[in-house]
Structure 1
Amino acid sequence: MIENAADPGLYNPAPSRRRFTWPGGKTVAVWVAPNLEYYEIDPPPHPRRKAWARPHPDVVGFSHRDHSNRVSHWRMADVMTKHGFPGSVSLSVALCQHHPEVVADANERGWEFFSHGIYNTRYAYDMAEEQERAIIEDSIATVRAATGQTIRGWLAPALTHTPRTLDLIAEYGLSYTCDLYHDDQVLPVHTRSGRLVSIPYSLEVNDHYGFFVYNMSGRDYADTLIRQFERLAQEPGSVMCIPLHAYLIGQPHRIGPFEQALRHIAADGRAWIATASQIVDAWQELQP
């Protein structure tokens, strides 16, 4: 349960933790989380939250995000591949039906997939347990059919949850959640059953927050990534996540500075560039 994730029995402040390094003696694990999403142009309304700022159907909002699945996914993915960064995909699993070409491209690059719900315009607030179970089961089955992979991670759709979300994904055998933004290291999460860990996923260096909330330029955002990396590389055992949305980072005026940031991190020598599952597995092997 989300409220149990901060159980005092699990609280372990940074100064008292055992320091360790990642494979190859690297001090910081770096993973990239491209959000491959699908937004419905006219989704069913939810009483707690509007899907679009404008009345439905929101042609402007939909078409802006549709840039990801037409153009900018490939621009972003090619830069990542060029500099040796695999993707751990936060997937709106409906994309497997709407735009299978995008999912196939990511799969062919050897990227990992985890679930970001069915649509990013469907929210978990007030969802019944049966509905939530159905979404988890659909995510597992759909991604397996489309890619041959079995998902191991979860990022709630549009970052919306119920009090039982973490318990359920652990029950279904998933290994990690990206829904807790409380630390810079992998940490265990208390659940009713199963074994679940929290892997750092960032709001602070998420390109959505960078461009929509903090009003950064492309160069500002790239500089933020470098400064985030430089600090975390001084703290052995830390994890840096770079969450991306292709319709933002893959725009022509932003992709150049982003590539410079990836080049800097890849050339530094302190980064273990990995997928989310590789980081979780390595962390578990390092536990006493």
Structure 2
Amino acid sequence: MLITHGRYDYHAWPDRPSYAWPGGARLAVYLGVNLEHFAFGEGLGAELAPGGPQPDVLNFAWRDYGNRVGAWRLLALLEETGFPATVLLNSAMYDYAPGLVAAHRARGDEIAGHGRTNSERQSTLPEPEERSLIAESTAAILRHEGAAPRGWLSPWIAESRITPDLLVESGYGYTLNWCVDDAPVWMRTRAGRLLAIPYPQEVNDIPAIAVRKDGAAQFADMIIDDFEERLHQVADGRPQVMGIALHPYLVGQPYRLRQLRRALMHLSARRAVVWVTTAGAVFDHVRSQPAGLVPGG
């Protein structure tokens, strides 16, 4: 037999029960805004062009543009369109750009854990070190926000075999790491259940723009087409979650921001028939449902 993770059981989509989001909506939409900081001259990082020897100034500076400029322009667009955000936060941002995190706090955006920095992967660490990474990131958010985060996205979506266990043991209720479904799924861990909320690997600017080299207009069209097709699909009564993953060093570039505005304005015009929300609010709604309604472990 094949080795399995044992975290959840298989549930065919046509067999899912029907339930609704608040207001009777069948489609929930949230924005995952990644605020990330990177070490200079070492470690991991997305690349605009193939990197040379360290220090790789070209790629470091391109990513840093996102925190200095792009993220502020994205914030203005969120205000313009009235979208809340789930901020996926490297805790190093509190030292590097505290005013940027404070601006999201002032909007009431959700702050979720995203490790210390995207210069590292937690999947390569022994258990004590991985536990320490989660604890350090969580403590920083608790100290600055006054409440611990409920959700987690690993840097580079990298997990060890015990990451879900460590997350529940650290007080987390949901993860965005497992892109296995179009609706939330409960996962089994050694410390209790953990909700896997859909986080996109297609409607996500890194694989779309940095990997597949899709253009700005193509990425905006992808958002719109994904949204419209999901609206068509949820007529079957089965709820879905549509996440949109954004990184300011990518979508904060002016020509991309203009196309993102087009997409968000399209979605905003249909707010009456969808639930525009945060990942944390999805978690709250799911855990209020009767046992057995939401599939999983």
Q: Which runs of 5+ in 2 are unaligned?
A: 45-49, 292-297
Query: Are positions 1:278 and 2:284 aligned together?
Result: no
Distance in 1 (CA, whole Å) between partners of 2:52 and 2:163 is 30
1:16 corresponds to? 15
2:47 corresponds to? none
2:176 corresponds to? 178
CA deviation vs aligned residue, 1:17-43 (integer Å, no higher than 9, x gap): 012221111120001000000011123
Distance in 2 (CA, whole Å) between partners of 1:196 and 1:33 is 19
Q: 1:81 to 1:43 in 2, by over 3 A?
A: same
Distance in 1 (CA, whole Å) between partners of 2:24 and 2:124 is 45
2:294 corresponds to? none
Report the Cα offset of residue 125 of structure 1: 3.2
Distance in 1 (CA, whole Å) between partners of 2:90 and 2:51 is 20
Report the Cα offset of residue 187 of structure 1: 0.6
SS of equivalent residue, structure 1 residue 140? helix
Report the Cα offset of residue 283 of structure 1: 1.6
Contact 1:179/1:201, CA 8 A, preserved across alignment: yes
Report the Cα offset of residue 44 of structure 1: 5.3
Distance in 2 (CA, whole Å) between partners of 1:82 and 1:33 is 17
2:208 corresponds to? 210
TM alignment of 1:8-87, pairs within 5 A: 10-43=9-42, 53-87=51-85
C-alpha RMSD of the superposition: 1.5
Report the Cα offset of residue 280 of structure 1: 1.0
- The equivalent position to 2:127 in structure 1, one of 118, 121, 129, is 129
1:189 corresponds to? 187
Structure 1 outlier segments of 4+, above 3 Å? none
1:49 corresponds to? none
Q: 1:148 to 1:23 in 2, by over 3 A?
A: same
SS of equivalent residue, structure 2 residue 88? strand
CA deviation vs aligned residue, 1:148-194 (integer Å, no higher than 9, x gap): 23111111112222111011001112010011011100010111113
CA deviation vs aligned residue, 1:183-236 (integer Å, no higher than 9, x gap): 100010111113310000001010111111222111111110011111222324
Distance in 2 (CA, whole Å) between partners of 1:123 and 1:246 is 20
CA deviation vs aligned residue, 1:39-92 (integer Å, no higher than 9, x gap): 1112358xxxxxx83321111111001011111111111111222211101111
1:261 corresponds to? 263
Contact 1:36/1:92, CA 8 A, preserved across alignment: yes
When normalised by structure 1's length, the TM-score is 0.92
Contact 2:28/2:274, CA 8 A, preserved across alignment: yes
SS of equivalent residue, structure 1 residue 114? strand
- The equivalent position to 2:221 in structure 1, one of 223, 230, 233, is 223
- The equivalent position to 2:254 in structure 1, one of 247, 252, 255, is 252
Distance in 1 (CA, whole Å) between partners of 2:82 and 2:283 is 19
Query: Are positions 1:242 and 2:244 aligned together?
Result: yes
TM alignment of 1:139-158, pairs within 5 A: 139-158=137-156
Distance in 1 (CA, whole Å) between partners of 2:187 and 2:97 is 34
Moved more, 35-44 or 89-98: 35-44
SS of equivalent residue, structure 1 residue 286? coil
Distance in 1 (CA, whole Å) between partners of 2:13 and 2:283 is 19
Distance in 2 (CA, whole Å) between partners of 1:277 and 1:257 is 27
Distance in 2 (CA, whole Å) between partners of 1:149 and 1:80 is 23
Distance in 1 (CA, whole Å) between partners of 2:73 and 2:140 is 26
